[in-house]
């Protein structure tokens, strides 16, 4: 496993991160543990989760995995998130799982909720600190002075080592960093955004902002919610996929056939190799999907192939404002 610096920090992570959104939901605990153990064995050390994944049950599952010992927690760079409160514990009601909040102060980025959410995550994860604590979304009602005061306190208490963001615009990143600089704080060390061949908007401003500030960029959904993972159809549980291939996806699949690689592996290799990308976050549901993610890290796409992919899935044309102005 080849490791790289996490942005401008001294932290080292592998070429992919393990996302856990499916664990305790589409992937049961034994299978989740098997994937986690395989990642641990392979040297994939970044595990990404959130307090609102599966009503908090995903964090609790990870806590039970860490409890097995063997260096699992010590060798893991553990990243979680706050913004949306976990839904009712164990609820199978889709309303409660998608929009029933505990109260008006149990979401967002107020100092009150940041503290409460962090304490709750630590308890579920069975750990005394988070390596990276990410804001899951921007909160336009919270001043940066309030956010950084709360985050800096968690850092001083040893409960958080680094702070990251997710789903931020480029100007949000700039605001956050300049506010942190005024407080003589480290500021954001990472940004996590959707990025794949079908969604390249972050090339305009988000990735350039991360590069300018020395922030690690972590793409999530590198397979486009499965659209780039292969020909849609029935999955291995017999359910019909709702994703229908477009002409671009069909052309992509044909190119992958010429290359002799699975579409999922080509899509992930492309994402991992893009300028500014630190490590894509993959969210495997099965062991086979995780192994495919590992295999993708061995694929090198030459310039001719990259040009063909750009022709099939055109990006925005470069960073802003050059992409749309003279």
What CATH number does the domain containing 220 carry? 3.20.20.100
- Predicted confidence at residue 47, as pLDDT, reads 98
- Predicted confidence at residue 246, as pLDDT, reads 86
- Predicted confidence at residue 231, as pLDDT, reads 54
Mean pLDDT score of the chain, rounded to an integer? 92
The mean pLDDT of 144-149, rounded to a whole number, is 98
- Predicted confidence at residue 87, as pLDDT, reads 59
Residue 94 lies in a domain: yes
Return the bridge partners of 220, or none: 194, 281
Confidence band (pLDDT; 50, 70, 90) for 163? very high
Alpha carbons 285 and 302: distance in angstroms, whole number: 30
- Predicted confidence at residue 201, as pLDDT, reads 98
The parent domain of residue 221 ranges over 4-312
Above 60 in pLDDT, residue 234? no
Which of 3, 53, 195, 213 does the annotation list as catalytic?
53
Percent of the chain whose pLDDT exceeds 70: 90
Residue 101 lies in a domain: yes
Q: What are phi and psi of 6, to 5 degrees?
A: -90, 90
Q: At what angle do helices 287-296 and 263-273 cross, to 10 degrees?
A: 50
Q: At what angle do helices 206-213 and 170-182 cross, to 10 degrees?
A: 30
The mean pLDDT of 220-230, rounded to a whole number, is 92
Q: DSSP of 254-289, one letter per residue?
A: HHHHHHTS-HHHHHHHHHHHSTT---PEE--SSHHH
For 272-288, give one letter per residue: b (16+ CB within 10 A) or e.
bbbebbbbbbbbbbbee
The mean pLDDT of 261-273, rounded to a whole number, is 97
Above 70 in pLDDT, residue 92? no
Above 60 in pLDDT, residue 235? no
Residue 69 lies in a domain: yes
- Predicted confidence at residue 102, as pLDDT, reads 66
**Alpha-carbon separation of residue 321 from 318, 325, 326 (angstroms):** 8, 6, 8
pTM score, two decimals? 0.91
Residue 179 lies in a domain: yes
The mean pLDDT of 148-161, rounded to a whole number, is 98
Residue 324 lies in a domain: no
Show Cβ contacts of residue 317 under 8 Å, excluding neighbours closer than 6 positions.
323, 324
Number of domains in the chain: 1
Question: How many angstroms separate the most distant Cα atoms in the chain?
Answer: 58
- Predicted confidence at residue 293, as pLDDT, reads 97
- Predicted confidence at residue 117, as pLDDT, reads 96
CB 202 within 8 A of CB 209: no
Structure confidence by residue, pLDDT tens digits, 21-37 = 999 999 999 999 999 99
- Predicted confidence at residue 84, as pLDDT, reads 85
> What is the CA 322 to chain-centroid distance, rounded?
28
Q: Which of 2, 27, 26 is nearest to 14 (CA)?
A: 2
Q: Which of 175, 172, 165 is nearest to 7 (CA)?
A: 165
3-state secondary structure of 6: coil
Percent of the chain whose pLDDT exceeds 90: 86
CB 289 within 8 A of CB 18: no
- Predicted confidence at residue 232, as pLDDT, reads 53
Residue 317 lies in a domain: no
Is 3 catalytic? The answer is no
The mean pLDDT of 289-308, rounded to a whole number, is 97
Residue 320 lies in a domain: no
Residue 323 lies in a domain: no
Confidence band (pLDDT; 50, 70, 90) for 130? very high
């Amino acid at each position: 496993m080849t490791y790289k610096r996490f942005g401008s920090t001294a932290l080292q992570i592998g070429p992919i991160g393990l996302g856990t959104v499916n664990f305790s939901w589409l992937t049961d605990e034994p299978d989740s543990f098997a994937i986690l153990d395989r990642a641990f064995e392979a040297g994939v050390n970044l595990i990404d989760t959130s307090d609102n994944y599966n009503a908090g049950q995903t964090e609790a599952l990870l806590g039970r995995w860490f409890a097995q010992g063997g260096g699992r927690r010590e060798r893991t760079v553990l990243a979680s998130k706050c913004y949306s409160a976990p839904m009712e514990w164990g609820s199978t009601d889709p309303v409660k799982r998608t929009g029933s909040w505990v109260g008006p102060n149990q979401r967002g980025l107020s100092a009150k909720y940041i503290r409460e959410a962090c304490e709750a995550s630590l308890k579920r994860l069975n750990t005394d600190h988070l390596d990276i604590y990410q804001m899951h979304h921007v909160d336009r009602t919270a001043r940066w002075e309030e956010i950084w005061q709360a985050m800096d306190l968690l850092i001083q208490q040893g409960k958080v080592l680094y702070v990251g963001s997710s789903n931020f615009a480029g100007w949000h990143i700039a605001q956050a960093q300049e506010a942190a600089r005024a407080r003589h704080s480290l500021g954001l060390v990472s940004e996590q955004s959707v990025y794949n061949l079908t969604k390249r908007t972050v090339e305009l401003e988000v990735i350039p902002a991360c590069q300018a500030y020395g922030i690690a960029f972590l793409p999530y959904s590198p397979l486009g919610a499965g659209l780039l993972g292969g020909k849609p159809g029935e999955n291995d549980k017999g359910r019909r996929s709702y994703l229908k291939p477009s002409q671009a996806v069909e052309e992509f699949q044909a190119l992958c056939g010429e290359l002799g690689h699975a579409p999922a592996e080509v899509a992930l290799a492309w994402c991992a190799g893009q300028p500014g990308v630190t490590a894509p976050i993959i969210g495997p549901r099965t062991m086979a999907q995780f192994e495919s993610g590992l295999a993708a890290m061995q694929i090198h796409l030459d310039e001719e192939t990259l040009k063909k992919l750009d022709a099939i899935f055109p990006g925005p044309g470069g960073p802003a404002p050059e992409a749309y102005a003279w």
